Structure 1
Amino acid sequence: MLSNATPTYLTGFGGHFATEAVPGALPQGRNSPQRPAFGLYTEQVSGSAFTAPRHENKRSWLYRMRPTADHRPFTRYAGAPRFTADSATEPLAPNRLRWDPLPAAPEGTDFVDGLVTMVANRDPAHLEGVAVHLYSANRDMERRVFVDADGELLIVPQGGRLDILSELGRLEIGPGQIALVPRGIRFRVRLPEGRATGYLVENYGAPFRLPDLGPIGANGLANPRDFETPVAWFEDRDEPFEVIQKYLGSLWTTTLDHSPLDVVAWHGNLAPWRYDLSRFNTIGTVSFDHPDPSIFTVLTSPSETPGRANVDFVIFPPRWMVGEDTFRPPWFHRNVMSECMGLISGDYDAKAEGFAPGGLSLHNMMSGHGPDVESWRKASEAELKPVKIEGTLAFMVESCWPFRVTAEALGRAQSDYDLAWADFPKAKLP
């Protein structure tokens, strides 16, 4: 199948799919026949322990032109100098931090080499935690693929479209959409518009799932049918291909004599997907007070403590604000969770200035934060009539673990961010 064909999708979050790019490639009634069709190789890729409960068990059976096991030893990869960088060695102060967007990448930088690690927590070997990276790229990944053995990858474009070619099919996404590539799945990225910027959320822990809805009921937030998984697609290319693998926080490389994106058919429930954030059914108050941001959760990765997320992916999309006698922006708060926020487009309603699309902010656990002075003043004096927040899309990566900041990120942090909360007037008591 040609790589420039328009991708086709199957719908449903976490569904069990069966798809083939060549009729007859997918075996019927069994997973591992003695002689798969066309001389294909059978391979299972597992995203969970074999004995995980059925409702949490994730795996797919692949029928490919060559086995993944056929490769030479990996050696250290010398590229991507700002990806998987070590955290700053000095103790991290409990300060609020904020960053401007990345400067444009040097010409000839692809998706992998354009990744910059900003914040991370936990060790990937512990199978819990999360890292947040930025990317800036201006060149297609050609004859090279990337695979992350440390975690699943949630890709959040901010500028420019991405064509993601994976072992299990093709995904096209742009700003306002997200895509997930499971742990251990190989892929490469092409740039239809020539350049792209955005965010990459690397989840080391339990795979992202849709949050429970509780008293909301059966419907609302992200609906399962709006998630799209690609149909089978493959490359038949006998030429050198580099495989770059992230493993225990470091990057490794080896070279194959063929494209590893050669899966002709597959079935299972471990697969990439994409989701349009405009499909999110936003829930909010219709009386008074500002609900906490849990109602904006798109995806969650639970920890071993019920109700305490390893990672939550939360968005702040266009929405109506109607609360009576209510301070409508996010209130001032300190939180046992740690919050890393990015801005995809527009202005964030709790910060009047200094937070630009493509930028990032960090409020670690128990750090006091909330609206800046100008946003507080406008919200305190506003006429309380129904108002629709439009032209903006922000997101938050929330984790129960405190984030550590890379030396690269610490050196680029805005020096005046704390001034966002300077000069609040003192309350006047009677």
Structure 2
Amino acid sequence: MQKVCLALPTMRPCPGTIVDLAEEAAYAVANFGAEVHILVLDTTDAAGFAKNADAVASLAPTPGVFVHHLGEEQQREFFRRVAERSGAADPELLLDMMLPGAVAYGSCVNRIFLGAAALGCTSAHLRNDDADFQVLDGEKIFPIHHELLSIGRPAGEAVAGVTRSELDPADADKPVLLVSGSFMGELNVDIGEIRELDPEVYRDVVRLWTPPVWPDEDRDAMVDVSFKGTGTEPFTADESVLGVPDIWNVFMCNVALDHRAYEVLPLLPSVKTLGCDYALLHALVHARMPGVVHNRHIVNYYTPERRTGAGFVPYQMGFVKLLLSMLYLYPVYGGMIDLGRGMLDERHGLKVEPILELVRGSVDWDRAGNEHCLDVLDRSYRKLGGKYAELADAVAERRPQLLDEAQEDARRWAVLIEAWAPLVAASRAEGLGAVSEVPAG
């Protein structure tokens, strides 16, 4: 029996998403005989937590489905115990990287990974609180269908569960550590308004996250596909492909990962930084591990706070920090491409040592690229005017701090990678179980 973690990190009231997750879990039990642990890691305020708790309490009991809903203080206590149990020299630093006092997309997924280890699950299935499932003939289209067909299986066995195989026969014994769909709907980074206001400014801005060593035509081609997902064609029938995925076809908003991946490499613990949760997908793809890409895409939508007066600048600042992070990530990703299957051990698992060496090597990268990035952003935002001119002012005011934070994020990632294996072991030993399990119904 597969024991899996169906996970939802959230910082807002999302009772409808919780109900959807319970339906997906019931589908997994009914169709695959899996044991499903729904893990909701909730950092909303007291009123938001109460709404989510009411949704959890209203769920009908389902044999084989177990619900764990942890508020921020419960999480803090658990991860404090884990950090101390890991034997780390500075458990408070690890706790801060796991549960900082601000939004951190990589950190919330890292908490999911350690929660899955504590629950004894063999895979983690990630969902978002700002996405819906597609519907066909009144039935929701659950990604877990394809995920449970393949995740963790030898690729040669997974061939039977896909509609098309591009598997190299030499990879038949390698496990499927990654299954992913895409998304449709709005861009997964809320910058579409820039494109509407001035397509040339949009191109200049998005170009900043492309590899600077690429030729201009390749950078422009990357701009054209960035943040767009799969388009607008709705689901009509299952399609799935087994092989080495293209990095553009895998998304953390709709993914299943085997424990042999996420127990090796954590994500960046960057605070208030969009897109800092993709490094593990890069490692698996660039190591040329077989994976499955399917078409049970989710529907992305925006929550309103990111476009309000109070929420606009903080959200867009997260995009600025994403752009600055690439100075340190592209050397790592490029090194991963060069290493290829050299990142795998004799059992076809990821080796952490070569990845850690790449991360350490990126920390002292010349900041000139990020100085240029901020110069281009300043010109671009001021050209747009209005609230974007105000954003330019905010970025200019924080310029030295932003440059320092991007470098410090890379350094902290190296520290977390070093500590990750002991944290995973401590989570397994600590367990989650009854501490968080919520009776449904």
Q: TM-score, normalised by structure 2?
A: 0.25
**Structure of higher CA gyration radius:** 1
Structure having the larger proportion of residues in strand: 1
Q: TM-score, normalised by structure 1?
A: 0.26
